[in-house]
Each structure stands twice: as structure tokens, then as C-alpha cells.
Amino acid sequence: MTLIKSISGIRGTIGGKVEDNLTPIDAVKFAAAYGTWIKQQRNKENYRVVVGRDARISGEMIQSLVMNTLVGMGIHVIDLGLSTTPTVEVAVPMEHADGGIILTASHNPKQWNALKLLNHKGEFLNGEEGKKILDIAAANDMTFAEVDNLGKIIKNDAYIDLHIDEVLDLPLVNKSAIEAANFKVVVDGVNSTGGIAIPLLLERLGVEAVKLYCEPTGHFPHNPEPLKEHLGDLARAVVKEHADFGIVVDPDVDRLAFMDEIGEMFGEEYTLVACADYVLSKNPGNTVSNMSSTRALRDITEKHGGTYEASAVGEVNVVELMKKNNVVIGGEGNGGIIYPELHYGRDALVGVALFLSLLAEKKLSVSALRATYPNYFMSKKKIQLTPQLDVDAILKTMESNYSHEKLTTIDGVKIDFADSWVHLRKSNTEPIIRIYTEAQSQKAADDIADRFIAEIKAVANI
């Protein structure tokens, strides 16, 4: 059982001992630390925080603890109840709130939950802000409100609809073309809040939605990470229903993947590629994704006359570089679409709307659309090291060994070859080096990964 404290929030398994797991005491402690940080940001009379959750089994308990802790600090809470990560992100500025908390462990299994923390813009905290909250929690430096100054909980269950309104109001969402296409789509909501939000969005766009695992019970019917090996039921349903394609999201609806009409994965990495292709065809400009994402985004960006740049891994790093480069669309290769026209956060709803617009205008099947994009294949492996080994020194040696190649070292070591790349980075929580590669065939990607594993082992003498 595990408790992980990081700059982006606190994540852990339910049950067990205090400080070893995400217990009620840990939830209260970190909610109070966040509330303290919120009050340090501005000197004002009324503070407001938006709180929403995915459908996981522990969500109601953790949300109640978090909200009432904030109430105890004199902070008013806007309770969205069952919601999505991007919906909470949209709600924070619309409510003129001071921050937001999403209770979700993203793609982790049902025994996990987490507090994901937002600033007043509805964006994830940066490293400095996150560290302040961890320091406050470590020092137990929290002061609660007196009885006449307690906060209040205000329920508002309208925000999924309001979020959909914001998506449909985007100029590039071609509602008329989507309606005219008469799409039929199977939706795997993994029994979380995507099962609420995605069918509602499709209904508003005139798309027939066949629901698969769309009851928000929190009992995930399969591993909730939207990868091919977990999606056999969706593949069978798409074929059986003669659907145009399938949609799958993770429990908090910030990751998005598609399945084509014959039950084959479109490729999670290609969610962003397709959406960027559509946006850049209407509004040429620059793009950003992280260093472990497919090179196909660079190819598509350059085809439309823009410039691509890669950030360090992590949504906050992607967003920071997107703002710096004034990009028109960006995100992460794990199916995370960030469209600044709406907000700076990964958002499966806007991804679905942009993808449908592209498909309706091109009048192609999903498999035919996929065939129009550069074909890259990825391998994702890792090496378990002993705690005594100096991972930084190992990576420094690899950097030196490949100094004649194109290197990027803002997050581990990425080596760009002519027709492939490898990204070596250490885990923040355990003695592991992750090896991500991409090449023009699966065998080539796997071979490069195996070659670098052997080289790292030689450097480490293991």
C-alpha cells in the first residue's frame, strides 16, 4: 500500500496506516495545507474552492473529508459532485474561485485515490507552489476558522452541461457537419464520470452513442488505463454495433483514445496528432507535446508551416512551454488534448469534438484517416536498479557516450536519431530508469530499447 506526496498533489491507496496510505487523516491534513496556501495567496474576506470527483468507490468519502476541512478553514466550497478533471478546471475561473481540487487517481485502479490541486486559473500548480503545500503539511502549520467564520458548501451540478456549452461554442467545432454525418459511436466510460459527460456531449452533437460501462459506480470493468490490451470489450462492441468508431476515456476524462470501425486502436499517441491536424488546417501555428510523445506531431506541425517543441514530461511542463511558444494546440501522447482556446488542461471532451469535426469534414473512415498520418511505433520499457546505484551518474555517462548525436537533457536524456529516438529518464519514486523509444517499425523500436537496456546495464555493471 502506498502514499505518494508530490508537487502535483497527494495520491495513495485507501485503507491502512496514517502516512503510509491515503487515510482520512491524510486527506484532511493535505486539504488543510492546500487551504492554508490558498489563504496565503490573497488577503481577502471570502475564499472559494471548486471541488469535484470521479466515480471511484472512495470518492464520496474523500470528497466529504476534503470539503469539510476547507469549511473548517473558513473557505466556501462549490461542490460539483460527480465531475471530470477538465470540468473542474473550466469551473474554477467561471466561478472566480481561488482554486480547485479534483478527487481522482486518474488511470490508477479502484483502490487508489488522490487530491489533484489547481490554482485560481484552473491550472495545475507549478513545482514551487506544490512544494509550499508539502512544506505546510510537513510543519502542521494550519490554522482553522472560529465558529462564526466557517465556510459553506454550495452544490452546483450544472457544470458538465456548462463545460459542454463551452466546447460547442468553439468556432472550430463544426456542429452542422457532425450532425449531417450521422455518426454512431460506442463509448466506454469505464464506469466513471466519462460515462456521464461523453454521451451528453455526443447527444448535443447529434451523434448516436452506444453506451458501454457508462454507469458511474466506480467498479471499473477493466484496467482503467485506455490501452489496447484492456479494451477487448470495446473492440467487439464497435464491430457488433457496426459503429463508425469507439471512444474510451480514463476515470477522470482527461485522457482520450479512439478505436476504428474494425476494432483496431487508432493509437493513443495519434489522438493529439489528429486533433492538431484539424486545428492547424484552420489556424496554422506552433505545437508542443512532451519528450516521450510521438514524432508524428512534429511532422504534422511542420506540414502546416508551424514549429514543434518538446517539453519535460508532466502536464504543468507542457502548459508552461505552450504559453511561452504561444501554441494553438498541444498536449501529451497519452491521449491528452490541451486546446488553449478553451483552457490550459487536458480535456477529452474538446478532443472528441475536434476529432468528430475532422472526421465529418474529411468524410473518411477512422482507419482511412489513420492511414494518412506518418507511421511510428513506440516501445516503453524500464530497468529496475538497486537503490545504491547513482541513476543520475548513469544517465550522465549515457549523455557523454552520445554527445555526437542530437541531445535534449531537460528531463533525463533524449537522443534523436535520423529515423528514431530514445528517451531515458529516472523515476521520481523508485530506482528505475524508463526507456521510451520510437521508430518506423515495432521491431526497430523494441530493438533500440533492448540495445539501450544492455548499454545501461554495462555502464552500471549489473
End-to-end Cα spacing for the chain = 29
Closest CA to 218 of 307, 322, 135, 111: 111
Q: Hey, which residues are catalytic here? A: 106
Instruction: Output the nine-digit C-alpha cell for 206.
Output: 447529434
Q: What is the pLDDT of residue 429?
A: 60
Q: Could you list the pLDDT tens digit for every one of the 462 residues in the chain?
A: 578 887 778 999 999 999 999 999 999 999 999 999 999 998 888 999 999 999 999 999 999 999 999 999 999 999 999 999 999 999 999 999 999 999 999 988 999 999 999 999 999 999 899 999 999 999 999 999 999 999 999 999 999 999 999 999 999 999 999 999 999 999 999 999 999 999 999 999 999 999 999 999 999 999 998 888 999 999 999 999 999 999 999 999 999 999 999 999 999 999 999 999 999 999 999 999 999 999 999 999 999 999 999 999 999 999 999 999 999 999 999 899 999 999 999 999 999 999 999 999 999 999 999 999 999 999 989 998 887 888 899 999 999 999 999 999 999 999 999 999 999 998 766 678 999 999 999 999 999 999 999 999 999 887
Q: What is the pLDDT of residue 1?
A: 52
Q: Which domains does the chain have, with CATH numbers?
A: 3-157 (3.40.120.10), 163-370 (3.40.120.10), 377-460 (3.30.310.50)
Q: What is the pLDDT of residue 74?
A: 98
Residue 14 dihedral angles phi and psi, to the nearest 5°: -80, 140
Amino acid symbol at 255: R
Q: What is the pLDDT of residue 430?
A: 67
